[in-house]
């Protein structure tokens, strides 16, 4: 029975994360040892960093440390992150991008950035998968707190 449950969990993760073929560049990147992967990521432009980060988030276990490397770019990464967040067709990727914003907010890099919070909120409002939406909403609350912006609460 437990083997059957394991298979169902694996298949549902496959559906959420995607089982598509990885690009050769992605495979090579994932084949590097973790430390070398992090060093390689530093040499990429932000857009390519995001592609490799999302690639690394689609394996088990996902490589969360790469979010730190993108956050290291500071405010210069924000336009690329917003663009990728808005154009991504997969909600799981959107959640992973919101995680990068959370890391940035932990470092104080989003202090007072109502514009960024509004963009993230708009993407979350359009999410359909409840699990991704809920996790993203929790991340947004943390981002708002770290950024010194009071979360909006609707009271009828």
Reply yes or no on whether the pLDDT at 11 is more than 50. no
Q: How many residues does the chain have?
A: 156
Residue 20: predicted pLDDT:
53
Reply yes or no on whether the pLDDT at 10 is more than 50. no
Angle at 69 between CA 149 and CA 78, to 5 degrees: 40
The most distant pair of C-alpha atoms in the chain lies apart, rounded to whole Å, by 53
Span 35-83, pLDDT tens digits? 999 999 999 999 999 999 999 999 998 999 999 999 999 999 999 999 9
Lowest mean pLDDT among 10-14, 87-91, 96-100: 10-14
Reply yes or no on whether the pLDDT at 139 is more than 90. yes
Average pLDDT of the residues in 30-38? 92
DSSP type of residue 150: P
Reply yes or no on whether the pLDDT at 19 is more than 60. no
Lowest mean pLDDT among 7-21, 86-100, 128-142: 7-21
Number of CB atoms found within 10 A of residue 5's CB: 9
């Amino acid at each position: 029975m437990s083997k059957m449950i394991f298979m169902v969990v694996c298949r549902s993760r496959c559906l959420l994360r995607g089982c598509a073929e990885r690009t050769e560049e992605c495979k090579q990147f994932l084949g590097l040892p973790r430390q070398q992967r992090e060093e390689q990521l530093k040499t990429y432009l932000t857009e390519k960093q995001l592609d490799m980060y999302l690639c690394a988030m689609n394996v088990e276990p996902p490589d969360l440390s790469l979010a730190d490397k993108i956050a290291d770019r500071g405010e210069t990464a924000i336009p690329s992150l917003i663009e990728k967040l808005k154009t991504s067709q997969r909600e799981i990727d959107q959640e992973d991008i919101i995680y990068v914003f959370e890391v940035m907010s932990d470092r104080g890099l989003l202090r007072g950035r109502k514009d960024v919070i509004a963009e993230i909120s708009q993407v979350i409002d359009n999410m359909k998968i409840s699990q991704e939406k809920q996790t993203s909403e929790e991340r947004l609350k943390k981002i708002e707190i770290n950024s010194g912006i009071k979360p909006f609460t609707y009271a009828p």
